[in-house]
Amino acid sequence: MLTNRKTIHVEWGDCDPAGIVYYPRYFAYFDNCTAALFEAAGLPKHKMLKAYGIVGIPMVDTRARFLAPSHFGDDVIVESSITEWRRSSFDVQHKLFRREVLAVECSETRVWAVRSTADPDAIEGQAVPQDVIARFGAPQTS
């Protein structure tokens, strides 16, 4: 299974007045880390959208556990991987480390989304192509 590691430097604008990362910023970090994971699999987002005719991989569920704070000036490392593939959705796990301490765990469920044929203003899930799944070293789905 492919795991991507991304280093993030915590900027002042990421923090609350106490210099601690403001919790919504973690979700922005994790969204960027999901894009980096796909890029590591040879699927940079701008090319993936065009090649597969999708509108994106929107998040439909997320949750996080905050275990230790990160501060202005810290360099943190996020390890990201896909833990489960389903027909049109998949789960991504992120682990953020400050030094060697696990500071935040996050899980996301995302959908391989296309424009709806029934309603062009809506989107719907579509089966994730097997060649995409194979890029992550995952077994083929049925």
Which residues are identified as catalytic?
16
Positive/negative CA dihedral, 76, 14, 57, 49: negative
Rounded CA-CA distance 47/117 in Å is 22
